[in-house]
Amino acid sequence: MSDALLPGAWLGMLGGGQLGRMAVHAAQSLGYRVAVLEPDPASPAGAAADWHLQAAYTDPQALAELAKACGAVSTEFENVPAQVLDTLAASLPVAPAGAAVAVCQDRALEKAHFAKSGVPCAPHAVLCTPADLDAVPDALLPGILKTATMGYDGKGQRRVRSREELRAAFAELGGVRCVLEALLPLAAELSVIVARGRDGAMVTLPAQRNWHVGGILATTVVPATGIDPALIAQAEASARAIADAFGYVGVLCTEFFVLADGRLLANEMAPRPHNSGHHSINACTVSQFELQVRAMAGLPLGTPRLHSPAVMLNLLGDLWFDAQGAQREPDWPGVLALPGVHLHLYGKTEPRRARKMGHLTVTAGSQPEALAVARQVAARLGLPTDGLDGA
């Protein structure tokens, strides 16, 4: 650890969203100063940073300034051009590396990396041209067609039941390179967050069980309820193997499907802190954001431990509108009157439907207590109740 960046140094962040904002807060709590490179003048992370470089991610002058000022750089989302990270890596530590981010930007490369790591994923085919559609095996239908790049929160995806629907969906998605995955009977969804340091040391946060509504994460429950402990151990080992195969540095989240027949398959991964890990700010001894800071600074990762059962609820922009479509403020006083409620709003100025505006974490002495309060929160705010029955 002789080359670790100590508190007081500058850290750089590419991207100005809510993940960057929470990483900035974690870095500042450890005594670091943070520069955020982000073109949006009103970004959540830029508002929290010590220095906001308002420029494009590819701006040579801004990148040179960032590299000169900072001792290490990270990214808060995977759609930053990977070559930008490679450019910065020529002069300072970058975590995660551009090569890992490039794989996570491409579903086809991502699935190849799962195979390289010895981790099974869903049966699939890569489709590049209309002719590829005719060669699709019958076993992949019905399936889910996903654009190979630029898809998140359910975007760039279509369910297809037949070859005719596959052709129509491929055309609707612009005829770009896609991945077709077999539609499998799911029993549950899990995610595992692993942090890997420069020295190869790895730690994981406890596995999280997730529920999605409309392709967007709605609820995360920790510890993961109703999941065989052997499957949880398998998921944690798989997440470590995936990170190790990269020689990864930083926080990496891998999402898994638990099938109805009991098999565990990797779904996708994110080279950054993840929405399903937000509970760690309030429920763990070390949050996913502090782990990212420690990894990029070359510090010991510590031993993260869940000290309180937790339920995380996403807060989308829909909450800011009543049944008639008029904008209103959610009932924060009523929610904050409930025990163990932690509210995190991201500083976004304009609520929009399906836009992530914040999250709320409920912690308690037991999981049934946390779920009971989360049900009260959902009732007051009109949130989905998926995952809140404790099953």
Separation CA 75–CA 305 (nearest Å): 25
Q: Does the annotation place 196 within a ligand binding site? A: no
Q: Does the annotation place 200 within a ligand binding site? A: no
**C-alpha distances out from residue 289 to 75, 250, 286, Å:** 12, 10, 8
Q: Does the annotation place 356 within a ligand binding site? A: no
Q: Does the annotation place 110 within a ligand binding site? A: no
Q: Does the annotation place 389 within a ligand binding site? A: no
Separation CA 250–CA 95 (nearest Å): 5
Q: Is 237 exposed, middle or buried (0-12, 13-18, 19+ CB in 10 A)?
A: middle
Q: Does the annotation place 267 within a ligand binding site? A: yes
Q: Does the annotation place 376 within a ligand binding site? A: no
Separation CA 126–CA 109 (nearest Å): 10
Q: Does the annotation place 340 within a ligand binding site? A: no
Q: Does the annotation place 151 within a ligand binding site? A: yes
Q: Does the annotation place 57 within a ligand binding site? A: no
Task: Read off the tokens for 16.
Answer: 């100005």
Q: Does the annotation place 107 within a ligand binding site? A: yes
Q: Does the annotation place 183 within a ligand binding site? A: yes
Q: Does the annotation place 164 within a ligand binding site? A: no
Q: Does the annotation place 350 within a ligand binding site? A: no
SS (H, E, C) the chain: CCCCCCCCCEEEEECCCHHHHHHHHHHHHCCCEEEEECCCCCCHHHHHCCEEECCCCCCHHHHHHHHHHCCEEEECCCCCCHHHHHHHHCCCCECCCHHHHHHHCCHHHHHHHHHHCCCCECCEEEECCHHHHHCCCHHHCCEEEEECCCCCCCCCEEEECCHHHHHHHHHHCCCCCEEEEECCCEEEEEEEEEEECCCCCEEECCCEEEEEECCEEEEEEECCCCCCHHHHHHHHHHHHHHHHHHCCCEEEEEEEEEECCCCEEEEEEECCCCHHHCCHHHHECCCHHHHHHHHHHCCCCCCCCECCCEEEEEEEHHHHECCCCCECCCCHHHHHCCCCEEEEECCCCCCCCCCEEEEEEEECCCHHHHHHHHHHHHHHHCCCCCCCCCC
Q: Does the annotation place 38 within a ligand binding site? A: no
**Which residues are documented as binding site?**
107, 146, 151-157, 181-184, 189, 212, 267-268
**Which residues are documented as binding site for ATP?**
107, 146, 151-157, 181-184, 189, 212, 267-268
